[in-house]
Structure 1
Amino acid sequence: MANNNSLVGGKSLMQRVNYQVILVQVFVALFLCINFLLITTFFMKDFFYTAMRYILFANTLLSDCLILIITNILLIFSYFRVNMQMWLCLILYILSFLYTLVTPFTLMAMTLERYVAICMPLRHGELCSTRSSLHCILIIHGLSSVPCIIVLSTFFASASLSFYKQYRVCAVELFIFHSWQSHLKSAINQLYFLIMFITIVFSYVKIMTVAKAASGENKKSTWKGLRTIILHAFQLLLCLIQLWCPFIENAVLQIDFMLYNNVRYFNYITFYLAPRCLSPLIYGLRDEKFFLALKYYALCGLYRKFF
């Protein structure tokens, strides 16, 4: 009887897991399709890839697509307990670690671009040129790689050569051998969180000051920029919370495996998928020029107002 109950309970758990995995696949496929359409729209018009905010927006979309694909692969492998060699897991982990930070740093850069556009309009063309955009993307990737290099340096110093040939279920916890490595990673994340938080607050206060002093069309444009900053702040907050998710999940894993699965699923939906669906909203739908171009290409050229 106990065995039958165990079998029924196990079957119920597997069915629930399957439903969860299927739901995630639907969301990921939807967001990837939307992002692909937005990226296609970006490259179809010269205007978009000569303006800094759209270049950074495209960088966010590409980063989001990559992180969605990688994390989705890891999620599927984890749920179905699929083993892989550690060297392959390490590559996926490096890409995941790097591009988890690329998106929030890009959001911070987009916030600063709005700050320059509203508070320093005469210098916007100089500071936010196409060349500056490319330099900014390089800086974003450089800053995002610093924590990855530091954390992986401690891992490479601790791991033996035989570790890379082992077959295990890929998880971030496998690359942390000592508690101090976890504390170091947490400290770096907290530092980055503080820097981004200060940047967002600074930009918000400055734009708020300009908004109160503006009048007419300038006031309308400034308040729109302020709302964009607020959306960026919310999106950035969700992205930064996901940096803490591995530590929360690791703590829950020590308590109960089923709870760990539920928490991990909730974190993925809330802090990985949700922030990525805000990017199309902020610039894909709220930006008039991008929305008109998107509408044109989505309707296969039937909507010609943009041209």
Structure 2
Amino acid sequence: MAASNSTVKLINDKVIFVQVLVILFLCINLLLIMTFFTKEFFYSTMRYILFAVTLMSDSLLLVMSDLLLILSYFYFTIQMWLCIIIYMVLSLYTFVTPLTLTAMTLERYVAICLPLRHGELCSTRNTLHCNLIILSFSSVPCIVLLSTFFASVTHGSYTQGRVCSVEIFIFHMWQGHLRSAINQFYFLIMCITIVLSYVKIMRVAKAASGEDKKSSWKGLRTVGLHAFQLLLCLIQMWCPIIESAVLQINFMLFIIVRYFNYITFTLAPRCLSPLIYGLRDEMFFHALKKLAVCGLYRKQ
């Protein structure tokens, strides 16, 4: 009995820890989003617009994934149609962030390797088109999985109460394999894009001199951070495969692995955006500091 109570307490502590992290990240993201709208330069420049997209995407993903975590933990059942909506949002924005990071890497590549065409290729209009393309590609995995789900269930299933999770949409083994194949395809394409951009920028950085060399190496470090953040996001796509294998071995081990994956590959990548642009970008950092100081001064 004591062992059972300690296990429940341990799980409770973990859930509380997640709530603290989510609230902290949401507050930081909200501050950064407010900073984004303080200067016209930010919302007319491609890299800052894409940065704001990742902040909004991450914030929505944090809220929805945390909601799903709480529903699953307390075994709340909801109707299938509502679970489908939650899954659509989660699936869409799981892919929006890594695809946007890939686009930000390409923007850095254009800025450093093709500086004369940067204004043309990275205009506000092209940024809007880029965001639409990102949303379109992000919706493909969700559409594919839900299409196979709709073909496998009866009409009455949509009003049944279930504990919401992605596993309830997978009836056959081939559906899981298809989902895995799509995730790995996206993983491969984004990794190739990041690596090629990194190699090109490195060549330019070695060949540059003076201020150009400093700018190129700074861009190279930014791409490196993007690569690390993107790696964490992309490993998240492999988590369902690992969790499914662990579930066949031991259920308690499955709970531990799922919790670790959520902290490491869902929450952690979402806290790196503030580090990369909120603190490293000089112009954005000054605007952030000014907003924080003005807010403190008004409060006093």
What range is the shorter-chain TM-score in? over 0.9
- Identity among equivalent positions (%) equals 71
CA distance in 2, matches of 1:212, 1:25: 45
Q: Which residue of 2 aligns with 1:3?
A: none
Q: For residues 96-115 of structure 1, what are the structure 2 equivalents within 5 Å?
A: 96-115=90-109
The one-letter amino acid of 2:16's match is I
Q: Which residue of 1 aligns with 2:191?
A: 197
Q: Match for 2:5 among 4, 7, 11?
A: 11
Q: Which residue of 2 aligns with 1:167?
A: 161
The one-letter amino acid of 1:287's match is D
CA distance in 2, matches of 1:246, 1:298: 40
CA spacing shift, 1:90–1:49, aligned 2, 3 Å: same
Secondary structure class of the residue paired with 1:168: strand
Structure 1's unaligned 5+ residue stretches are 1-6
Q: Which string of whole-angstrom CA distances, capped at 9 and with x for unpartnered residues, describes residues 108-148 of structure 1?
A: 00000000000000000000011111110000000111111
Count of matched residue positions in the alignment of Structure 1 and Structure 2: 297
Q: Which residue of 1 aligns with 2:74?
A: 80
Secondary structure class of the residue paired with 1:24: helix
Q: Which residue of 2 aligns with 1:238?
A: 232
Deviation at 1:266, TM superposition (A): 0.3
Kindly indicate whether the alpha-carbon contact (under 8 Å) linking 2:184 and 2:237 is maintained by their aligned counterparts in 1: no
Q: Which residue of 1 aligns with 2:31?
A: 37
Q: For residues 262-281 of structure 1, what are the structure 2 equivalents within 5 Å?
A: 262-281=256-275
Q: Which string of whole-angstrom CA distances, capped at 9 and with x for unpartnered residues, describes residues 29-60 of structure 1?
A: 00000000000110121010000000000000
Q: For residues 142-157 of structure 1, what are the structure 2 equivalents within 5 Å?
A: 142-157=136-151
Kindly indicate whether the alpha-carbon contact (under 8 Å) linking 1:85 and 1:166 is maintained by their aligned counterparts in 2: yes
CA distance in 2, matches of 1:240, 1:286: 23
CA spacing shift, 1:301–1:15, aligned 2, 3 Å: closer
Q: Which residue of 2 aligns with 1:225?
A: 219
Q: Which string of whole-angstrom CA distances, capped at 9 and with x for unpartnered residues, describes residues 4-36 of structure 1?
A: xxx222211110011000000000000000000
Secondary structure class of the residue paired with 1:13: helix
Kindly indicate whether the alpha-carbon contact (under 8 Å) linking 1:296 and 1:302 is maintained by their aligned counterparts in 2: no
Deviation at 1:259, TM superposition (A): 0.9
Q: Which residue of 1 aligns with 2:241?
A: 247
TM-score (norm 2): 0.97
CA distance in 1, matches of 2:167, 2:249: 15
Structure 2's unaligned 5+ residue stretches are none
Secondary structure class of the residue paired with 2:249: coil
Secondary structure class of the residue paired with 2:162: strand
Secondary structure class of the residue paired with 1:244: helix
The one-letter amino acid of 1:130's match is T
Deviation at 1:302, TM superposition (A): 7.3
The root-mean-square deviation of aligned C-alpha atoms, in Å, is: 1.1
Q: Which string of whole-angstrom CA distances, capped at 9 and with x for unpartnered residues, describes residues 211-244 of structure 1?
A: 0000111111100000000000010010011011
Kindly indicate whether the alpha-carbon contact (under 8 Å) linking 1:173 and 1:250 is maintained by their aligned counterparts in 2: no
Deviation beyond 6 Å, 4+ runs, structure 1: none
The one-letter amino acid of 2:99's match is F
Kindly indicate whether the alpha-carbon contact (under 8 Å) linking 1:172 and 1:246 is maintained by their aligned counterparts in 2: no
CA distance in 1, matches of 2:3, 2:77: 24
Secondary structure class of the residue paired with 2:294: coil
Is 2:59 aligned against 1:65?
A: yes
Q: Which residue of 1 aligns with 2:279?
A: 285
The one-letter amino acid of 1:37's match is L
